Structure 1
Amino acid sequence: MQRKPASMTLNVTERHQASEPVLGAYNDHPLRLEVNDEIHARPYERLRAPARVSHLGMFSGRHSADADRAAVADLCERFGVEPPEPDAQHMSRDFGPFRLKWERRTEVSTYTFIVEDDFEHPFEGPPIERVPEDWLASLPGPRLVGIHLALEPSWSQPRTSSGIVALFNDNTIVGSQIAGGAARVWTDFRIHEDGFSRILLRDVNMRERQAGRAIQRLLEIETYRMMALLAFPVARRLNPQLNELEEQLASITERMTGSTRERDEQNLLSQLMELAAQVERIGNNTNYRFHAARAYHELVERRIQELREQRIQGVQTIQEFMERRLVPAMRTCDTVAERRGSLSERISRTGDLLRTRIDVALEAQNRDLLDSMDRRAKLQFRLQETVEGLSVAAISYYLMGLISYVLQAARDAGAPVRVEITQGLAVPVVVFTIWLVVRLVRYRIAKRQEG
């Protein structure tokens, strides 16, 4: 076999060892790197027990990405840390006293503060106490999510069931083994006196990346749960409004069955259009919230599945808790959204029926009007023919008078003219001539109108 030149081997080796991707050799798509790197965005943190986490979710809204980014840049400037890129949606930096992982989502920005150190009480002296208070107070948007999470090492003394319950102020706790038994987690999904909820995670046999993934999933479950539940108060407020609107639609439909007058139908159509406008206004104000709730709920379910829960004897799992508490709320939201959509469709169908009735009534009126106009046209034609006959007679009469004057004048002048005989003979000629002229004039007028 012929050996390849050494220069070629060296070029290939250098190409594989290059730190930057080789783009000049091909006509790459301008979005190739961006699309490829997207799946590597938002990496999980590496965490080693013992560690504690404080997590904030600030509901800054859909149009506050720049303000969130500016807040993070301000904190970076205070600690002499490199700020995020101008269009960054996430960042992870070591600030010295703590690590910060910032993520910008559609409506909320999350700030996760991480400290790896020993602790006696899992929820005393949390990492957020190391963050400047004035900076926390200046964060855009109200706080929606606040979580303190403690990661206990496997070598620490295991806590008793009563000791775990005491950490959550004797509330009913939810917990399970996760990651195939590599860790155990407990929480109560309640907001405590400090304004934060609590999660206790005990390392059994987790790797650093595995611990980071587990913590990230737990924080996202709580964040997405709160985001999904934002639609629930909206759904409860909408229920009475929808009840009232449905009653109004039923009343309009009932009145339609007994209404036969055009004025009543026009009034009903006006009321129906106003009802449709109210329903559409409700839809415009709530559709996004309900669609977002559905998407967040799906994310919650997906993150719970990724935990790979196993039951701890006597403790309700996170999945069971969500099925009993979150799922009914989401079904209420779905029901309200479906009711609004169904109401809109029913109003549309009722409006179509009412407009059809009005159109049929108008068509009947137009038919009667056309029939009346046709009868009037026929009557006018007959009157016109009568007038034409009278006109021929009248013109003939006056014309015969003129002829009589001419004949009498001729007789007086000595011409041999017999006035009476000549007048009698001229009558049919004059009448026919006048009738012919009238017919010719009418024909020309009709021809001109057709043209």
Structure 2
Amino acid sequence: MDNPAASLLVDHPLRASLVAELHARPFLRLSGSVSLTHYAIYSDEDPAIHESLVRTLCEQTGMALPADGVTHYAVQSAFGWHLKWERHTEFSTFTFVSPRDDTDYFNDLAIHGVPADWLALLAGKRFHAVRMELLSGQAAAAVSGNLRDWLDGPVLVGSDVLGGGKVYCDWNVRADGYMRILAIDEDFREEQGGRLLQRLYEIETYRMMALLALPVARKLGRELDDIHASLQELMRAMDARRAGEDDAGLLDRLTELAVRVESLSGHSGRFSASRAYERIVLARIQELREQRIEGMPTIAEFMERRFGPAMETCRSVWSRHEQIAARVARAVDLLRTRVNLAQERDVTRLLAGLERTARNQLHLQHAVEGLSVAAISYYVLSIAAAGLKALHVVRLPVDPELAEGLLILPVVLIVFGVIKRSRTRTPQDGPVPAGHS
């Protein structure tokens, strides 16, 4: 018989959490007509606000608190609505769902009993708010004939979805701060209604998160215009000036430009996240399996015309940033190469000057050595002449003038040999030890 405890001991510590990830964030289980209110909370200044909000709501409404560290939580309230909370990387979502048995659509039914104090905590952090109605039976038929009574935006979008229902929306934020989406259940299978509503509010939530890169792209575009103009000016200056003419100054200016470009790389995370959110939006739209309703654009068509260009702007701006960064890097390399070549030419000229100086010094040294041989020989012969004259005084048979004349050649040769030997002496000879001659 298998022992479950022993089986768990052989598992990797991460296995359980990774398997549980497959079952995280389950779809809503809905039946009949329901009203749904969905909030997306975003705050880049207070990451702890998400857990704080869900705990505060549970405490104020008497619901059980979520466990520490959870990223999704579902609970039923005493007011009749069901809460689904999810924590994402940058944002969190609160989804309130309540059964609908009246015709006062898009009201506060799904958040009945939610304290006003708690709603006030969302100020400045509510990134998306939508009210959704899923209707079936006679209620659905009645509303379908009067869509403009509930959706009065400038553009009405609609389509057949999932092979068993319809969706209508106008993507318009009303004075109460909410968007409206109407879903009609004509022949949904089990859980299809919950999946549809979840996909719909995820489309709008992830669309808004993807568009966070758009203001950054616009600001970045203006920065890149200025950098591009400065780069063009520097490149013209490089082309107009001769090599070595203020290249160091140009290199300093180019380096400053490279620093400006690199400082903009801090936005890469925002653009990467935007691309990821865009892919999720497109995937959720594809999962709807839309079919056209005559006279209305589908959600995919609406997003392609409105959402697509914004995302293309973000992609083009970031691509332009990468191209300018590459151009600045190439310009820096080219100018640094030119500076290095100019420095090498200067070094070559300096070495040639040093060579000429050394050659002149060698010639001078040879001349000095010649004069030294003559001077030393003269002094040696003078001393020898004095000695010979002394010998002549003591009446030795020596003719001083003849002897001095005969000594000239040997003395000169000896002096020349001694000086040459001292000049060509190698370092291996080493210094003379102290105390020895």
Q: Same fold (TM over 0.5)?
A: yes
The change in CA–CA distance for 1:141 and 1:381 in structure 2 (over 3 A counts) is farther
Whether 1:364 and 2:364 are equivalent positions in the alignment is no
Work out the CA distance in 1 between the residues paired with 2:112 and 2:259: 50
Work out the CA distance in 1 between the residues paired with 2:429 and 2:112: 98
Of residues 74, 78, 84, the one that matches 1:101 is 84
Work out the CA distance in 2 between the residues paired with 1:448 and 1:372: 32
Work out the CA distance in 1 between the residues paired with 2:55 and 2:118: 11
The change in CA–CA distance for 1:413 and 1:209 in structure 2 (over 3 A counts) is farther
The change in CA–CA distance for 1:192 and 1:381 in structure 2 (over 3 A counts) is same
Could you say which residue in structure 2 is the equivalent of 1:6? none
Could you say which residue in structure 2 is the equivalent of 1:289? 270
Of residues 160, 168, 171, the one that matches 1:177 is 160
Q: How big is the shift at 1:157?
A: 4.9
Q: How big is the shift at 1:308?
A: 0.9
Could you say which residue in structure 1 is the equivalent of 2:433? none
Contact 1:58 1:142 (C-alpha < 8 Å) held by counterparts: yes
Q: Which runs of 5+ in 1 are unaligned?
A: 1-10, 16-20
Could you say which residue in structure 2 is the equivalent of 1:239? 221
Of residues 156, 166, 175, the one that matches 1:193 is 175
Structure 1 SS opposite 2:35? strand
Q: Report the residue type matching 2:291 in the other structure.
A: Q
Contact 1:54 1:128 (C-alpha < 8 Å) held by counterparts: yes
User: Greater shift after overlay, 287-296 or 419-428?
Assistant: 419-428
User: Greater shift after overlay, 432-441 or 337-346?
Assistant: 432-441
Structure 2 SS opposite 1:158? helix
% identical equivalent positions: 40
Whether 1:279 and 2:267 are equivalent positions in the alignment is no
Could you say which residue in structure 2 is the equivalent of 1:388? 369
Aligned counterparts, 1:36-115, within 5 A: 36-61=19-44, 64=47, 66-97=48-79, 98-115=81-98
Q: How big is the shift at 1:329?
A: 0.8
The change in CA–CA distance for 1:372 and 1:81 in structure 2 (over 3 A counts) is same
Of residues 111, 121, 143, the one that matches 1:128 is 111
Contact 1:176 1:316 (C-alpha < 8 Å) held by counterparts: yes
Could you say which residue in structure 2 is the equivalent of 1:221? 203
Contact 1:149 1:200 (C-alpha < 8 Å) held by counterparts: yes
Could you say which residue in structure 1 is the equivalent of 2:293? 312
Contact 1:224 1:300 (C-alpha < 8 Å) held by counterparts: yes
Contact 1:61 1:141 (C-alpha < 8 Å) held by counterparts: no
The change in CA–CA distance for 1:413 and 1:38 in structure 2 (over 3 A counts) is farther
Structure 1 SS opposite 2:38? strand
Work out the CA distance in 2 between the residues paired with 1:304 and 1:41: 21
Work out the CA distance in 1 between the residues paired with 2:429 and 2:132: 96
Aligned counterparts, 1:422-437, within 5 A: 422-437=403-418
Aligned counterparts, 1:10-21, within 5 A: 11=1
Work out the CA distance in 2 between the residues paired with 1:126 and 1:191: 19
Q: How big is the shift at 1:393?
A: 1.5
Q: Figure out how many residues of one structure are paired with residues of the other and give that number.
A: 429
Could you say which residue in structure 1 is the equivalent of 2:331? 350
The change in CA–CA distance for 1:25 and 1:276 in structure 2 (over 3 A counts) is closer
Q: How big is the shift at 1:46?
A: 0.8
Work out the CA distance in 1 between the residues paired with 2:365 and 2:378: 19
The change in CA–CA distance for 1:41 and 1:260 in structure 2 (over 3 A counts) is same
Report the aligned-residue RMSD.
2.3
Per-residue CA deviation, residues 331-365 of structure 1 (Å, 9 max, x unaligned), is 11111111111111111112222222222222222
Q: How big is the shift at 1:405?
A: 3.0
Contact 1:407 1:419 (C-alpha < 8 Å) held by counterparts: yes
TM-score normalised by the chain length of structure 1? 0.88
Per-residue CA deviation, residues 219-268 of structure 1 (Å, 9 max, x unaligned), is 10000110111111222222232222212212211221111152422222
Q: Which runs of 5+ in 2 are unaligned?
A: 431-437
Could you say which residue in structure 2 is the equivalent of 1:7? none
Could you say which residue in structure 2 is the equivalent of 1:421? 402
Q: Report the residue type matching 1:204 in the other structure.
A: E
Contact 2:244 2:338 (C-alpha < 8 Å) held by counterparts: no
Could you say which residue in structure 1 is the equivalent of 2:321? 340
Q: How big is the shift at 1:187?
A: 0.9
Structure 1 SS opposite 2:139? coil
Could you say which residue in structure 2 is the equivalent of 1:18? none
Could you say which residue in structure 2 is the equivalent of 1:8? none
Whether 1:399 and 2:380 are equivalent positions in the alignment is yes
Q: How big is the shift at 1:25?
A: 7.2
Work out the CA distance in 2 between the residues paired with 1:131 and 1:431: 121
Of residues 336, 351, 355, the one that matches 1:374 is 355
Work out the CA distance in 2 between the residues paired with 1:113 and 1:356: 65
Contact 1:122 1:200 (C-alpha < 8 Å) held by counterparts: no
Could you say which residue in structure 2 is the equivalent of 1:327? 308
Q: How big is the shift at 1:294?
A: 1.1
Per-residue CA deviation, residues 275-330 of structure 1 (Å, 9 max, x unaligned), is 1111111222x212211111111100000011111112211110000011000111
Per-residue CA deviation, residues 180-214 of structure 1 (Å, 9 max, x unaligned), is 2x221111111111011111112112244222211
Contact 1:62 1:106 (C-alpha < 8 Å) held by counterparts: no
The change in CA–CA distance for 1:140 and 1:420 in structure 2 (over 3 A counts) is farther
Of residues 235, 249, 268, the one that matches 1:253 is 235
Could you say which residue in structure 2 is the equivalent of 1:408? 389
Contact 1:59 1:143 (C-alpha < 8 Å) held by counterparts: yes
Contact 1:150 1:200 (C-alpha < 8 Å) held by counterparts: yes
Q: Report the residue type matching 1:35 in the other structure.
A: L
Contact 2:243 2:339 (C-alpha < 8 Å) held by counterparts: no
Structure 2 SS opposite 1:308? coil
Work out the CA distance in 2 between the residues paired with 1:32 and 1:446: 76
Structure 1 SS opposite 2:127? strand
Q: Report the residue type matching 2:306 in the other structure.
A: R
User: Greater shift after overlay, 295-304 or 77-86?
Assistant: 77-86
Work out the CA distance in 1 between the residues paired with 2:304 and 2:161: 18
